[in-house]
Chains A and B, each alone.
Chain A
Amino acid sequence: MRGAASILGGGMLLLMGAAAVLAPLLATHDFAAQDLSAQYLPPGSSGHLLGTDLEGRDLLSRLLHGSRVSLLVALLATLVSVVIGVAFGLVSGYAGGRVDAWMMRMVDVLYALPFLFLVILVMTLFLGPRAGPGGRVAALLIVLGAVQWLTMARIVRGQVLSLRSRDFVLAARALGAGPVRILLRHILPNLSGIIAAYATLTVPRVILQEAFLSFLGLGVPEPYPSWGRLAAEGVRGITAVETHWWLVTFPSVAITLALLGFQLLGDGFVRCAGDRGGARGSSRGRRPAGRPRTGA
């Protein structure tokens, strides 16, 4: 039952990934082509399976291309956060003592910062209309990744703390291996499972934040569509007179399915990494919980 949920999540993501990769082949229209004679066509209209928007652009084609932008931004930003978080956690956990205490204190302080405000500030202040789309996307990746690494750093550090006194690390040190080699060749491979698990759980958060920024008009620039942008455009198009429901519904369904997929897969990964035993992320000396009783 539990495994089935993860497989379902993985399957959904595979489908979406395939749609994103094959977008140019699957899209029936140019995603940026405007057709002012076909404004706000409802779904099922001739040639427009999911309808069109204010400028007469085909929603299906925009969604397909949007999945490329959204997934790419989410994966790359997650990669940025994983690199920062893992590096920070490795150094902090292995250094130990006072260095570790200061580094973790810093993470605590950063946790307390209203990070999204910083993101909003950076995006509004440094990326006016003059910045090119490439620059904006790059800034988006770095900024979103840079605010997500804290949890990863904490988890990795906790794991390193418990691994660094294990026999195989002592053996490596006795053979003359330096700290960099020990961390990268001996400790890091042991963490791959838990890193993969939390990276998978970071992706949906990044997608949500990209959607949030898009809603404020600070996300991926014109004319490129992302799911968040499409949904935001749909929401902004709602008036008391007309709603154009398809412009809100289909992008939202795409976002929700993607987030569900990553969440289900990530939950499964976390359970696997936890079941295999070893060090757990919790620093509290509680005994590890067994598998929850089922049935009852």
Chain B
Amino acid sequence: MIPFAVRRVGGLLVTLLLIATVSFFLLRLAPGGPFDADREVDAAVRAAQEARYRLDRSLPAQYAGWLADLLRGDLGPSSCYPGLTVNEVLAAAIPPSFLLGGLALGIALVLGVLAGALAGRHPGGLADRAVSMFALLFISIPSFVLGAALLLLFSLHLRWFPAGLLEGAASLVLPVLTLGLPMAAVIARLARSGLAETMGEDWIRTARSKGISETRVVLVHGLRTALLPVVSFLGPAAAGVLTGSVVVERIFALPGLGTHFVNSALNRDYSLVMGTVLVYSALLVTLNFLSDLALAALDPRARTR
């Protein structure tokens, strides 16, 4: 278990470095720059700007400088928010985004596993059909449409929740649901098929024949194996939350990472794009790692891979 984890952490860092490097060069290869303006800027001003953002050096020198700064934990100055460093911009944007994503992931897990357990207990039964239908429906709705529908119904029509901005717990309800429900649907499908398969196994019959209550059979004996696909889905689910948050933050006007990511890419704010990419990929790689670790703990067969 420990060597497995150590091996994975090494691979993790290499993956992160690879992502950072590819994004760095992709950004610099693209046409356009952060200081392209409609009118000509004075040469001295331009030179000063470029020197501040280290754009006057050669590409490898820029990369080396950026990497050295990164190791000291400095992501550089932002060019579309003059006067702010990327560290400051990210420090303000990370807490709301993480709160939103964490809550959405949590709700998706709870709802998805419960619904999946309900459906998988009796494949073909009424609960199974109802859950499968709802799951299929939520998978088939684009997240921004779901968000708009929730907004129209609960915020503009019923006026139960605020329509946007991050002010108090009530303002989080709709964004979290928008982000969490489609994922809950995927998890429910995985848990359902896992449980339906497991409930036919011999050890389930053995457990039943020992007179263990049905609830315990399902929750303890059945779900442990049935949840393996759900656990290995957590990595991709985290990716879904991250990309979904871009849309949700837009609809509900939340001040988060996703908004910064798109804006900074459009404005060629190189250091801010790199900062957001790094945060996103670090998070994703870590969650993938945790999901692998949990999988290895639950299923010894996965450790050899």
Contact = CB atoms under 8 A, between A and B. Distances in A.
Interface of A: 109, 111-117, 120-122, 124-126, 128, 204, 208, 211-212, 215-216, 228, 231-232, 234-235, 238, 240, 243, 245, 248, 252, 255-256, 259-260, 263-264, 284-286, 289-290, 292-296
Nearest to B182: A208
B59 to A, nearest CB: 16
Interface string B241-271: 0110011001100000000011001100000
Given A117-B277, A243-B152, A284-B301, A124 B266 contact: yes
Contact of A120 (B18, B261, B285): B261
B251 A292 contact: no
A252 B152 contact: no
Q: Which 8 A-B pairs have the closest CB atoms?
A: A125-B30, A292-B123, A259-B140, A294-B124, A116-B243, A289-B197, A252-B145, A235-B148
Given A124-B265, A293-B123, A295-B124, A215 B26 contact: no
Contacts of A122: 26
B142 A114 contact: no
Nearest to A262: B140
Contacts of A290: 200
Contacts, number: 136
Interface of B: 11, 15, 18-19, 23, 26-27, 30-32, 122-125, 136-137, 139-145, 147-149, 151-152, 156, 163, 196-197, 200, 235-236, 239, 242-243, 246-247, 250-251, 261-262, 265-266, 273, 277, 280-281, 284-285, 288, 301
B142 A255 contact: yes
**Contact residues of B: prevailing secondary structure:** helix
Contact of B143 (A109, A125, A212, A243): A212
Contacts of A296: 122-125
Contacts of A216: 246-247, 250, 262
Contact of A111 (B11, B235, B243): B235
B136 A114 contact: no
B145 A231 contact: yes
A256 B26 CA distance: 35
A245 B153 CA distance: 11
Contact of B27 (A109, A121, A252): A121
Contact of A121 (B136, B143, B148, B273): B273
Contacts of A285: 301
Given A248-B148, A296-B125, 19 more contacts: A109-B15, A114-B243, A117-B243, A120-B246, A124-B265, A124-B266, A125-B31, A125-B32, A238-B148, A240-B163, A248-B149, A255-B141, A255-B142, A255-B145, A286-B197, A289-B197, A292-B124, A293-B124, A295-B124
B141 A114 contact: no
Given A208-B142, A216-B262, A252-B141, A126 B30 contact: yes
A245 B200 CA distance: 47
B200 to A, nearest CB: 6
A259 B139 contact: yes
